[in-house]
Chains A and B, each alone.
Chain A
Amino acid sequence: MIKKTSLYNLHQKNGAKLVEFAGYHMPIQYKDGIIQEHKFTRSNCGIFDVSHMGQLFINGQENLTKDLENIFPVDLKNLNINQSKYSFLMNDSAGIHDDLIITKINDGYLIILNAACKYGDFKIIKEKLKDKYDLKLDDNLSLIAIQGPKAKIILNKCISGIDKLKFMHGGNFKFKNYEVFVTRSGYTGEDGFEVSIENKFAELFVEELLKLGTKLIGLGARDTLRLEAGLCLYGNDIDLDTTPIEANLKWAISKNRINTNYPGSKIIKDQIKSGVNKIRVGIKPETRIIARGNTKIFNQDNKEIGKITSGTFGPSVDHSIAMGYVENNYANSNTKLFLEVREKK
Chain B
Amino acid sequence: MSEVKYSKEHEWLKLDGDVATIGITKHATEMLGDIVFAELPEKGTNVEKDGTAGVVESTKAASDVYTPVSGEVIDTNQAIVDDPSKINQDPENSAWFFKLKIKDPSEIETLMNKDDYDNFAKETSA
Chain A contacts to B: CB under 8 angstroms: 28-29, 33-35, 220, 224, 287-290, 292, 312-313, 315, 320, 342
Our pick among B33, B37, B39, B84 for the contact of A34 (Cβ within 8 Å) is: B33
Q: Which 7 A-B pairs have the closest CB atoms?
A: A313-B36, A35-B34, A288-B37, A34-B59, A33-B34, A290-B57, A34-B34
Write the nearest CB–CB distance from A34 to chain B, whole angstroms.
Answer: 4
Asked whether, in the complex, the Cβ of A290 is within 8 Å of the Cβ of B34, the reply is: no
- Residues on A with C-beta less than 8 A from B37 are 287-290, 313, 320
Count of residues in B whose CB is under 8 Å from the partner chain: 13
Flag whether B28 is at the interface (Cβ < 8 A): no
Asked whether, in the complex, the Cβ of A35 is within 8 Å of the Cβ of B62, the reply is: no
| A-contact bits for B17-47, CB 8 A (1 contact / 0 none) | 0000000000000000110110100000000
- Residues on B with C-beta less than 8 A from A290 are 36-37, 57, 62
Our pick among B33, B85, B88 for the contact of A220 (Cβ within 8 Å) is: B33
Given A29-B33, A33-B34, A313-B36, decide whether A289 and B57 contact each other with a Cβ distance below 8 A.
yes
Cα distance, A320 to B34, chains bound together (Å): 14
Flag whether B79 is at the interface (Cβ < 8 A): no
Total A-B Cβ pairs within 8 A: 40
Flag whether B49 is at the interface (Cβ < 8 A): no
- Residues on A with C-beta less than 8 A from B34 are 33-35
Interface centre among B34, B62, B88 (most CB of A within 10 A): B34
Asked whether, in the complex, the Cβ of B59 is within 8 Å of the Cβ of A224, the reply is: yes
Given A313-B57, A342-B55, decide whether A292 and B33 contact each other with a Cβ distance below 8 A.
no
**CB proximity to A under 8 Å, residues B62-108:** 62, 84-85, 88
Flag whether B114 is at the interface (Cβ < 8 A): no
Cα distance, A220 to B59, chains bound together (Å): 8
Write the nearest CB–CB distance from B56 to chain A, whole angstroms.
Answer: 11
Write the nearest CB–CB distance from A321 to chain B, whole angstroms.
Answer: 11
Asked whether, in the complex, the Cβ of B55 is within 8 Å of the Cβ of A312, the reply is: no
- Residues on A with C-beta less than 8 A from B8 are none
Asked whether, in the complex, the Cβ of A288 is within 8 Å of the Cβ of B36, the reply is: yes
Cα distance, A312 to B33, chains bound together (Å): 13
Given A288-B36, A290-B36, A290-B37, decide whether A312 and B62 contact each other with a Cβ distance below 8 A.
no
Given A29-B33, A220-B33, decide whether A292 and B59 contact each other with a Cβ distance below 8 A.
no
Name which residue of chain B comes closest to A38, CB basis.
B59
Name which residue of chain A comes closest to B59, CB basis.
A34
Cα distance, A292 to B37, chains bound together (Å): 13
Name which residue of chain A comes closest to B38, CB basis.
A288
Name which residue of chain B comes closest to A223, CB basis.
B59
Known: A33-B34, A35-B36, A290-B36. 12 other contacts (CB 8 A): A28-B60, A33-B88, A35-B85, A220-B59, A288-B57, A289-B37, A289-B39, A290-B57, A290-B62, A313-B37, A313-B57, A320-B37
Cα distance, A315 to B37, chains bound together (Å): 12
- Residues on A with C-beta less than 8 A from B85 are 35
- Residues on A with C-beta less than 8 A from B59 are 34-35, 220, 224, 312-313, 315
Cα distance, A289 to B57, chains bound together (Å): 8
Instruction: Show 12 residue pairs from A and B whose CB-CB distance is below 8 angstroms, ordered by the A residue.
Output: A28-B60, A33-B88, A35-B36, A35-B59, A220-B60, A224-B59, A288-B36, A288-B57, A290-B36, A290-B37, A315-B59, A342-B55
Write the nearest CB–CB distance from A229 to chain B, whole angstroms.
Answer: 16
- Residues on B with C-beta less than 8 A from A312 are 59
Name which residue of chain B comes closest to A220, CB basis.
B59
- Residues on B with C-beta less than 8 A from A320 are 36-37
- Residues on B with C-beta less than 8 A from A313 are 36-37, 57, 59
Asked whether, in the complex, the Cβ of B62 is within 8 Å of the Cβ of A292, the reply is: yes
- Residues on B with C-beta less than 8 A from A29 are 33
- Residues on A with C-beta less than 8 A from B62 are 290, 292, 342
